[in-house]
């Protein structure tokens, strides 16, 4: 009977307490990760600022040029709808 009562108390008290402790430990481990992420973000923004100062922004691709004229595949057709006569 003693073991039965001890088992019920374990299920009702100890397991939820252990789950809460593991959640607290997980949150405590997330804090240093967040601090490291903030530090990395600051360094990345500084590097991006330095790169923007040194290099002009050029968004064109190598070997690709946007044509000035528009070409229509159906220029020869007069856009007839229906059957041909």
Residue 73 or residue 38, greater confidence: 38
Mean pLDDT of the chain: 78
CA distance linking residue 78 with residue 72, whole number of Å: 12
Q: Quote the tokens at residue 54.
A: 């040194």
DSSP string, 33-83: HHHHHHHHHHHHHHHHHHHHHHS----PPTT----SS---TTSSS----S-
Please write the tens of the pLDDT for every residue from 6-35: 888 888 888 889 999 999 999 999 999 999
pLDDT of residue 40: 93
Residue 54 or residue 37, greater confidence: 37
61 DSSP assignment: P
Sign of the alpha-carbon dihedral angle for 74, 79, 84, 85: negative
In this prediction, residue 56 has a pLDDT band, given cuts at 50, 70 and 90, of low
């Amino acid at each position: 009977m003693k073991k039965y009562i001890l088992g019920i108390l374990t299920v009702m008290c100890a397991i939820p307490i252990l789950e809460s402790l593991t959640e607290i430990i997980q949150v405590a481990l997330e804090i240093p990760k967040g601090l490291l992420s903030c530090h990395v973000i600051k360094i990345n923004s500084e590097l991006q600022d330095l790169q923007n100062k040194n290099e002009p922004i050029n968004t064109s691709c190598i070997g690709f040029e946007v044509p000035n004229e528009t070409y229509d595949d159906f220029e020869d057709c007069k856009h007839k709808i229906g059957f041909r006569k």
